[in-house]
């Protein structure tokens, strides 16, 4: 597991890159939130980051989110972001633990989240398959308006934005058109939050309007693969 000094250095280096990208885009640094992707890293690594002052963490798997939410319940102010697609049967874990859900793509999942959510509404972002990849999750752009209307009609959910995961590219500039398309789609529907950009392309994403960037490897290092 990563040690605290290394993690602190990683946060500092990443913060410098985030600030530089915001400067290039003529944006305030506060307009972009960093979601530290902690999937497949132990709860102790999240605790170290929390002790360093970070509060937003992203998990891909509903059961792992459930377990870490329990293990780190004493970490005041910690906000969980569920960033991977979820099956209806596992929506209860996201509904209980998450502050933000970045990967809404099915009405039945939205209905299950709405039914099981208590307290403050769950902030949701619809995941859009901007590149039309058969292997990727997400709603085709032409189907987004219908899902927006359906989600907005449900109680206990607050639709705040859109998410995209473009094809992985060695050159992050190749992701730019996809990020731009997502920004334009969000603007058409009055949605303010854009969750886009990961370790390899978050700077381009910020330049194209990202408000939430999901970075894991640059902070925690390479993770173990699930068994």
| pLDDT value of residue 224 | 58
The CATH number fitting domain 4-220, selected from 1.20.950.20, 1.10.3720.10, 3.30.2080.10, 3.20.20.10: 3.20.20.10
Percent residues over pLDDT 90 in the chain = 91
Q: What is the pLDDT along the chain (227 residues), one digit of tens a residue?
A: 899 999 999 999 999 999 999 999 999 999 999 999 999 999 999 999 999 999 999 999 999 999 999 999 999 999 999 999 999 999 999 999 999 999 999 999 999 999 999 999 999 999 999 988 777 889 999 999 999 999 999 999 999 999 999 888 889 999 999 999 999 999 999 999 999 999 999 999 999 999 999 999 999 998 655 54
- For the stretch 140-172, what's the b/e string if a residue is b when 16 or more beta carbons lie within 10 angstroms of its beta carbon? ebeebeebbeebeebeebebbbbbbbbeeeeeb
* CA dihedral for 105, 128, 214, 79, sign (positive or negative): negative
- Report residue 166: phi and psi, to 5°: -65, 170
| pLDDT value of residue 227 | 44
- Report residue 94: phi and psi, to 5°: -65, -45
Instruction: Return mean pLDDT, the chain.
Output: 95
Per the structure block, which two tokens stand in for 205? 């994403």
Q: Model-level pTM?
A: 0.95
Name the residue among 218, 225, 171 with its Cα closest to residue 16. 218
Per the structure block, which two tokens stand in for 222? 């390479």
Give the model confidence (pLDDT) of 157-216 as tens digits: 999 999 999 888 889 999 999 999 999 999 999 999 999 999 999 999 999 999 999 999
């Amino acid at each position: 597991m990563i040690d605290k000094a290394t993690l602190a250095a990683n946060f500092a280096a990443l913060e410098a890159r985030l600030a530089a990208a915001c400067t290039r885009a003529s944006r305030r640094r506060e307009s972009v939130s960093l979601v530290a992707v902690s999937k497949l890293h132990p709860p102790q690594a999240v605790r170290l980051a929390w002790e360093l002052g970070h509060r937003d963490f992203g998990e891909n798997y509903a059961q792992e989110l459930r377990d870490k939410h329990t293990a780190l319940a004493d970490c005041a102010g910690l906000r969980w972001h569920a960033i991977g697609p979820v099956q209806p049967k596992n929506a209860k874990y996201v509904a209980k633990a998450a502050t933000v859900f970045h990967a809404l793509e099915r009405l039945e999942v939205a209905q299950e989240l709405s039914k099981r959510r208590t307290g403050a509404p769950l902030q949701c972002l619809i995941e859009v398959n901007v590149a039309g990849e058969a292997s990727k999750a997400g709603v085709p752009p032409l189907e987004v308006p219908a899902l927006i209307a359906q989600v907005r009609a449900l109680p206990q959910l607050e639709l705040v934005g859109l998410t995209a995961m473009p094809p992985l590219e060695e050159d992050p500039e190749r992701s730019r058109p996809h990020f731009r398309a997502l920004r334009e789609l969000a603007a058409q529907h009055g949605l303010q939050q854009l969750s886009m950009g990961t370790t390899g392309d978050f700077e381009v994403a910020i330049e194209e309007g990202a408000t939430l960037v999901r970075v894991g490897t640059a902070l925690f290092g390479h993770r173990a693969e699930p068994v």
